[in-house]
């Protein structure tokens, strides 16, 4: 399973595959002090149809200008009037104004949302208690709807954990910027989509997407990536979001790969610095992987994954061509999973 998941990560965890996703708004802000505010707004509105989410996030951010941190630190008056006509499903202008007023207060007292989170961690003593304080302080509870769920409520807190993932992880997709937590502290953002995939992959048997389920799924992914259990989140969520990638085919390929080489991931989960134990995988021995060092395999796999979209026809591919290529990776492959091909041919099982 690790081999399969790492293959997914290398193929699909790419910035050109982000759209449509509210995460894309964070790329417009270089300063973490601005990005943390943009990420909070975007994550709070990340529910419902994605097309409407993007419109609502854009509308909510427009009044804050190019420097949201400076705007809110200097003045929070008039926000109710500014957002009086705002509406995103259950979120009203009063909700947005209330959230930003609380952010403004925190900025004046702590300087940034990250420093406030650091204070919450000091007071709470652990990640989940710190998040309880953070959510209670920032989220205006109006009309029975809370902008940020709190772990103490027992819900999956998908939007809160999504926000943390954006701010803490740093790779081609997640912009990062925060150091108050490390990636290993994160909880998998769990909605019905991820819950469904996790159940079909056998990572949980729980039927309700609540906090207990989110923590169980996180622990399951931590088996494959102990220091970064949310590493596979973005790649997995492309299935069912992008039109050409279906969850059913994802599960089918995962099952075929794991079944084809039972115990495959376990075989290569040991010493990353030594030669692969191919005693149970003769085909890998025939492929000449027995004498490759792990660093070499990782370098080749990553280099290939980075260059392949540009080298299909010997020239740089357009964004549309690259999107088409990645959309077609799984659905155009008939009998052998492309991820399995990466695993066998380029040793992707050692990446990460």
Q: Which residues contact 347 (CB under 8 A, 6 or more apart)?
A: 276, 289, 292, 294, 296, 297, 298, 300, 301
Report the alpha-carbon distance of residue 162 to residue 36 in Å, rounded.
Answer: 12
Residue 122 burial (CB count, 10 A): 10
What's the average model confidence in pLDDT over 105-133? Answer: 96
Residue 226 burial (CB count, 10 A): 9
Angle among Cα 251, 320, 342 to the nearest 5 degrees reads 40
For the chain, the structural domain boundaries read 21-168, 261-350
Which of 83, 76, 84 has the alpha carbon at shortest distance from 104?
76
Q: Each residue of 212-245: pLDDT tens digit?
A: 999 999 999 999 999 999 999 999 988 866 656 6
Q: Give the tokens for residue 277.
A: 């134990």
| 314, 320 Cβ separation under 8 angstroms | no
Q: Each residue of 136-157: pLDDT tens digit?
A: 999 886 666 788 899 999 999 9
Handedness of CA 313, 316, 320, 326 (dihedral sign): positive
Is residue 74 pLDDT above 70, yes or no?
yes
| 351, 301 Cβ separation under 8 angstroms | yes
Q: What pLDDT is attached to residue 300?
A: 38
| 277, 270 Cβ separation under 8 angstroms | yes
Per mean pLDDT, which range of 68-72, 110-114, 183-187, 271-275 is the poorest? 271-275
């Amino acid at each position: 399973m690790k081999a399969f998941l790492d293959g997914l990560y290398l193929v699909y965890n790419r910035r050109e595959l982000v759209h449509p996703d509210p995460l894309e708004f964070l790329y417009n802000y270089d300063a973490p002090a601005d990005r943390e505010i943009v990420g909070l707004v975007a994550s709070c509105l990340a529910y419902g149809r994605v097309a409407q989410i993007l419109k609502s996030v854009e509308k909510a951010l427009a009044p804050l200008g190019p420097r949201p941190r400076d705007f809110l630190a200097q003045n929070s008056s008039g926000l109710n009037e500014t957002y009086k006509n705002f509406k995103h499903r259950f979120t009203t202008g009063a909700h947005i104004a209330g959230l930003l007023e609380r952010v403004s207060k925190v900025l004046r007292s702590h300087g940034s949302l990250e420093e406030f989170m650091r204070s919450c961690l000091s007071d709470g003593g652990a990640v989940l208690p710190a998040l309880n304080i953070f959510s209670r302080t920032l989220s205006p509870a109006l009309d029975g709807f809370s902008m940020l769920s709190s772990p103490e409520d027992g819900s999956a807190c998908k939007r809160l954990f999504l926000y943390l993932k954006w701010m803490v992880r740093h790779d081609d997709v997640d912009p990062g910027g925060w150091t108050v937590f490390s990636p290993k502290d994160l909880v998998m953002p769990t909605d019905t989509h991820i819950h469904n995939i996790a159940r079909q992959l056998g990572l949980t048997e729980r039927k309700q997407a609540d906090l207990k389920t989110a923590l169980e799924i996180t622990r399951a992914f931590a088996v494959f990536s102990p220091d970064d259990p949310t590493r596979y989140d973005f790649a997995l969520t492309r299935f069912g979001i992008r039109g050409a990638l279906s969850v059913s085919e994802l599960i089918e390929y995962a099952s075929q790969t794991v079944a084809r080489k039972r115990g495959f991931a376990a075989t290569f989960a040991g010493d990353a610095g030594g030669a692969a134990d191919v005693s149970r995988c003769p085909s890998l021995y025939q492929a000449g992987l027995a004498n490759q060092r792990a660093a070499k395999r990782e370098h080749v796999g990553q280099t290939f994954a980075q260059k392949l979209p540009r080298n299909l026809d010997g020239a740089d591919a357009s964004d549309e061509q690259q999107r088409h290529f990645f959309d077609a990776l799984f659905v155009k492959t008939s009998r052998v999973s492309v991820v399995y091909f990466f695993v066998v041919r380029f040793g992707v099982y050692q990446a990460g």
